[in-house]
Amino acid sequence: MPVNEDLRRERARATFDVKQLTHMLDGGSDRTARRRQLQAIIERDPTGIFSNDDNAYLHRTDRHVRGLAKHVRMVELCRTLGIGDKYDGQVVMDPDFPVLLAALADDLPTALHWIMFVPNIVSLCDEEQQRAWLPLCRDWKMIGCYAQTELGHGSNVRALETTATFVSEDQDGTKGGSFVINSPTITSAKFWPGTLGRTANHAMVIARLIDGHGKDQGMHNFLVPLRSMKDHKLLPGVKSGDIGPKIGYNVMDNGFAQFDNVKIPRRNMAMRFAHVDERGRYSKKSVSAAASKISYITMMQVRAHICNEAGKNLAVACTIVTRYSALRRQGYASDGESELQILDYKQQQHRVFPLIAASYCFFFTGKRVMEQLKDIEDKLVSNKSISKAAVTDIHASSSALKSFTTTVAADGIEDCRKACGGHGFLQCSGLPELITTYLQSPTVEGDNQMLPQQVVKVLLKLVQTVQDDGDLSDYVSCDSYGLISSLQSNLKGVKEDCRIVSEIDVMNLDALLAALCHRSARLLVGVASQIQGSISSGKSYQEAWNDALVEMARVSRAYSQFLLLRNFMEGIDGEERSGAIGVAEVTVLQNLARLFALYWMEKELGDFLEDGYVTADHSRWVRSAVLQLLDCIRTDAVSLVDARDFSDFKLKSALGRYDGDVYPAILKAALRDPLNHSDPGPGYEQHLKRLIAGGTGTYKATVSRL
C-alpha cells in the first residue's frame, strides 16, 4: 500500500535500527516472529468474528455477546493449534495465551477466569481441591470470577460483611459439614467482580468465616457455585446480574451477587493455608515459608504486569498521536503558504515525547520487577532465606510504581487524545475506548491515592534504622538501598551537593539519578519529622498520619521516579551488554531516559529548589535541556513508536494507521454509524417533522405584527 509521504520521510531518517528495538521489546527475535504469527491467525480468522470494525456502533449488549463469541472461537483455535498442550491442556498457562489475548485487541467477558479465579485455585487451594477443579477450568466448564469487593467495601477488606458460617453434619445432615453463605445487608452484596454478572458459573468468594464455635476467623476464600453447569440457571439462594454500564470496559460483565443461605460443601473453602475440620474447628496450616509467600509474590507479579501494561497502553496512544502529528499539517510556515506538521510545534513535542520516554521507561521497570520477583521466588523454592526487609521492600516499590505508572499512563493517554485536536474526540481515533477502559487501572489493584501509605509505611522503617545507626545488611539487594546514603546525609544534616555543576552535567544520567535520589530521601525524612512533630504537638498517631497523607503522595511519586530512572539506565546497559542493541539504539534510549528525568524535574522543580539542592541556574539548564532533547527525539519520533510494531488491527485507529491514509478512513468510519442508515435520519418522521413541516413551533402572535 502507498504510504503517506510525510510518514515515509520520517521513517527514512531514523538514526537507529527499528527492528532491534522491536526484538528487545518482545524479548527476542523469535518471540517477535511468534507474536506476528499468532496475530495473523486472529486477524485473518475466516469466521471474521474477531473484527473490531463495528465495536463503536454496537449497543453494549451486542458488544458483550460478541465478546463471548470471540472467547469461544479463541478456545477453539487454541485447541486446534495445540496452545496449552504442554500445560496439560490448560490454555491459560501457555505463554502464547497472553500474546493471543493482546492480538485480539478487545476485552473478553471471561477475563477474570484466568486473571484471578484460576490463579486463586492454584495458590490457595490444596492439592486435592486443585485436582477436582482445575480440569473443569481447563475444559471451560467451570468459569469463575473473583468476588471480593462489596457494595459497601472496597479498600477496607477487613470490613467485608459476607459471611460463611460452618454447619456440621449433625445440624443439617450434609456429609462432612458445610458452609452457609449469606449477604446480611444491602452493602454486603458482592459488587464489581468482573465476569460475575452474566458469564461465570462459579465465584471465589471472600467471606468472613464463622467457625463451628461461632467464632469469627476473618476473611477466607470459598468456591461458591452460582449457576448450574447444565443450563446456566442461577442456583437457589443466589441473586446475581450485571452492574450496568460503565465509563469503559463495557464488554465485561462486572457483576453483583447476593447470597441467601447458600449452602456449599465444607471442602469448598480454600484449604491450603487454613483448615476447618468436620466438627467446625478452625486451624492454620503450617506450611513452608516458601509456600506462604507465593501468593504474595503473585500479587506483586500482577503489579509488575500492570506497570508493563501501563507502558504498552501509553505506547498505543503515543503511536496514534505521533503518526497523526507527523502528517497533520496545521498553521502556516514562514513562507505563508505551506503548512507545518503539528509534530514540529515544540509544545506538541513537549506533550508527546515525554510520554514516549515514559512508555519505554515502564517497559524496563516492568521487566526488572519481574526479574526481582523471579529471584525471590527461586530463593524461596530452594529454601534460601529471604529477609523480611527484602519482601517489604519489593512491596513498597511495586506499590509506588503501580500508583505512579498508571497515573502517568491514564493522564498521558488522555493528553495524547487531546493532542489530536477534534479528531481525537472521535471513537474512530481509537483513543476514546483506549482511555475510558484504561481508567480502571488507577482504581483497581490498590487505589492509586492509597498506595503511597503502603510505600511510606515501609520506607519509614528504613529511616528509623538509618537514624538509629542500625544494621543495614538486610537492605543490600533492596531497591531502597539506593536511598541510604542520601538518608544518612540528610539525617545528619550534612548538605548533599548537586552533581550538576555546569550546564553540560544536566545531560549526565548519573547526576540526574543522584538528584532524584536526593529528593526522595529529603521528602521521606520530611514526612518522618512531620509525623513526629505532629505527635509531639499532642496529636494522636492517626491524626498525625492523616495530616501527612498529602506529603506521602509526594514521597511515593518521588521514589517511583528514582526507581524508574535507575531501572531505565540499568536496563539499557543490560540490553547493550547482552548484545541485543547497538550503539545507535543505546543513544536514542539514553536520550529518552534523560528526557524522562528532566521532564519530571522541570515539572516538579519546587521539590529540588526548596532546599537549595538546585538553583535558578539549574532551572534554566533543565528547561533548555528539555528543549534540546525534544529536538533530538524529533528525528526518531515516528520510528520510536513504529518499534512497538502494533498492527493496524491492534491500534483500531483511523488516525494511527501505518500508511497514514487517515482522512478517507475517518469518513468511512462516519458512514458506518447507524444514524446514517436512513435519510432523512431516524428522528425526522416522528419528531422533527412536527416542527419543520408541521408548524408546532410557529409563533402565533406574529401574524399581525410582521
Beta carbon of residue 132, minimum distance to ligand FAD (angstroms, whole number): 23
Note whether 706 binds a copy of itself by CB under 8 A: yes
- Nearest 10 degrees: Cα torsion 498, 502, 503, 505: -60
Interaction partner, residue 567 (a copy of itself, ligand FAD, none; CB < 5-8 Å by kind): none
Which parts of 112-151 interact with ligand FAD (CB under 6 A)?
112, 146-149
Which parts of 151-210 interact with a copy of itself (CB under 8 A)?
151-156, 158-159, 186-187, 189, 191-192, 197-199, 201
Note whether 542 binds a copy of itself by CB under 8 A: yes
CA separation for the pair 301, 307 (Å, rounded): 10
The answer to whether the beta carbons of residues 531 and 544 sit under 8 Å apart is yes
Which parts of 424-463 interact with a copy of itself (CB under 8 A)?
424-428, 431-432, 435-436, 439-440, 442-444, 447-449
Beta carbon of residue 231, minimum distance to a copy of itself (angstroms, whole number): 7
Beta bridge partner(s), residue 256:
191, 241
Interaction partner, residue 146 (ligand FAD, a copy of itself, none; CB < 5-8 Å by kind): ligand FAD
Beta carbon of residue 87, minimum distance to ligand FAD (angstroms, whole number): 24
CA separation for the pair 627, 433 (Å, rounded): 32
Task: Choose the catalytic residue: 169, 278, 445, 604.
Answer: 445
Question: Residues binding ligand FAD: what is the number (CB under 6 A)?
Answer: 31
Interaction partner, residue 194 (a copy of itself, ligand FAD, none; CB < 5-8 Å by kind): ligand FAD
Interaction partner, residue 176 (ligand FAD, a copy of itself, none; CB < 5-8 Å by kind): none
| Owner of C-alpha cell 527525539 | 633
Beta carbon of residue 439, minimum distance to a copy of itself (angstroms, whole number): 7
Beta carbon of residue 601, minimum distance to a copy of itself (angstroms, whole number): 9
Interaction partner, residue 120 (ligand FAD, a copy of itself, none; CB < 5-8 Å by kind): none
Beta carbon of residue 469, minimum distance to ligand FAD (angstroms, whole number): 33
Beta bridge partner(s), residue 263:
180
The answer to whether the beta carbons of residues 361 and 597 sit under 8 Å apart is no
CA separation for the pair 245, 243 (Å, rounded): 7
Note whether 449 binds ligand FAD by CB under 6 A: yes
The DSSP letter of residue 507 is: G
149 is in an annotated binding site: yes
Q: Which of 89, 237, 265, 574 is the binder for a copy of itself (CB under 8 A)?
A: 89
Residue least distant from ligand FAD (Cβ): 154
Query: In the annotation, is 445 catalytic?
Result: yes
Beta carbon of residue 164, minimum distance to ligand FAD (angstroms, whole number): 16
Q: Which of 553, 592, 638, 641 is the binder for a copy of itself (CB under 8 A)?
A: 553
CA separation for the pair 248, 435 (Å, rounded): 8
Give whichever of 376 and 451 is closer to a copy of itself, judged by the CB atom. Answer: 451
- Amino acid identity, position 149: T
Beta carbon of residue 472, minimum distance to a copy of itself (angstroms, whole number): 29
CA separation for the pair 541, 533 (Å, rounded): 11
Residue 223 parent element (H or E): strand 216-225
Interaction partner, residue 353 (ligand FAD, a copy of itself, none; CB < 5-8 Å by kind): none
Which parts of 152-171 interact with ligand FAD (CB under 6 A)?
153-155
Print the binding letters for residues 633-672 with a copy of itself: x by CB under 8 A, - otherwise. ------------------------------xx-xx-xxxx
| Owner of C-alpha cell 484460576 | 118
Rg (CA), the chain: 28
Which parts of 675-704 interact with a copy of itself (CB under 8 A)?
675-676, 679-684, 686-693, 695-702
Q: Which of 333, 476, 501, 504 is the binder for a copy of itself (CB under 8 A)?
A: 333
Beta bridge partner(s), residue 146:
204
The answer to whether the beta carbons of residues 205 and 124 sit under 8 Å apart is no
Note whether 234 binds a copy of itself by CB under 8 A: yes
The answer to whether the beta carbons of residues 448 and 387 sit under 8 Å apart is no
Which parts of 419-448 interact with ligand FAD (CB under 6 A)?
419, 421-423, 425, 440, 443-444, 447
Q: Give the start-end residues of each E strand in 590-691.
A: none
The answer to whether the beta carbons of residues 98 and 244 sit under 8 Å apart is no
Beta carbon of residue 8, minimum distance to ligand FAD (angstroms, whole number): 21
Q: How far is CA 78 from CA 32, 42, 102, 119, in A?
A: 19, 11, 14, 20
Which of 280, 310, 85, 49 has its CA nearest to residue 178? 280
Note whether 149 binds a copy of itself by CB under 8 A: yes
CA separation for the pair 99, 102 (Å, rounded): 5
Print the binding letters for residues 254-293 with a copy of itself: x by CB under 8 A, - otherwise. --x-------------------------------------
Residue 4 CB burial class (10 angstroms; 0-12, 13-18, ≥19): middle
Start-to-end CA span in the chain (Å): 62
Print the binding letters for residues 490-529 with ligand FAD: x by CB under 6 A, - otherwise. ----------------------------------------
The answer to whether the beta carbons of residues 223 and 264 sit under 8 Å apart is yes
Spell 546-565 as b/e; 16+ CB within 10 A means b. eebeebbbbbbbbbbbbbbb
Which parts of 313-342 interact with ligand FAD (CB under 6 A)?
328, 330-331, 342
Phi and psi at residue 470, to the nearest 5°? -75, 180
Phi and psi at residue 341, to the nearest 5°? -65, 135
Question: Residues binding a copy of itself: what is the number (CB under 8 A)?
Answer: 159
Note whether 347 binds ligand FAD by CB under 6 A: yes
The answer to whether the beta carbons of residues 581 and 24 sit under 8 Å apart is yes
Print the binding letters for residues 183-212 with ligand FAD: x by CB under 6 A, - otherwise. ---------xxx------------------
Interaction partner, residue 147 (ligand FAD, a copy of itself, none; CB < 5-8 Å by kind): ligand FAD
Which parts of 367-426 interact with ligand FAD (CB under 6 A)?
419, 421-423, 425
The pairing of strands 163-167 and 178-182 is: antiparallel
Beta carbon of residue 267, minimum distance to a copy of itself (angstroms, whole number): 19
Interaction partner, residue 247 (a copy of itself, ligand FAD, none; CB < 5-8 Å by kind): a copy of itself
Beta carbon of residue 423, minimum distance to ligand FAD (angstroms, whole number): 6
The answer to whether the beta carbons of residues 122 and 174 sit under 8 Å apart is no
CA separation for the pair 546, 676 (Å, rounded): 55
For 350, the grid coordinates are 513537549
According to the 3-state scheme, what is the secondary structure of 18-45? Answer: HHHHHHHHHCCHHHHHHHHHHHHHHHCC
Which of 251, 128, 117 has its CA nearest to residue 197? 251
192: left (phi over 0), alpha (psi -120 to 50) or beta: left
194 is in an annotated binding site: yes
CA separation for the pair 518, 504 (Å, rounded): 20
Interaction partner, residue 112 (a copy of itself, ligand FAD, none; CB < 5-8 Å by kind): ligand FAD
Q: Which of 331, 383, 384, 582 is the binder for a copy of itself (CB under 8 A)?
A: 331
Give whichever of 185 and 383 is closer to a copy of itself, judged by the CB atom. Answer: 185
Binding site listing for FAD: 149, 194
As annotated, the active-site residues are 445
Binding site listing: 149, 194
**List of residues contacting ligand FAD (CB under 6 A):** 112, 146-149, 153-155, 192-194, 249, 254, 328, 330-331, 342, 345, 347-348, 419, 421-423, 425, 440, 443-444, 447, 449-450
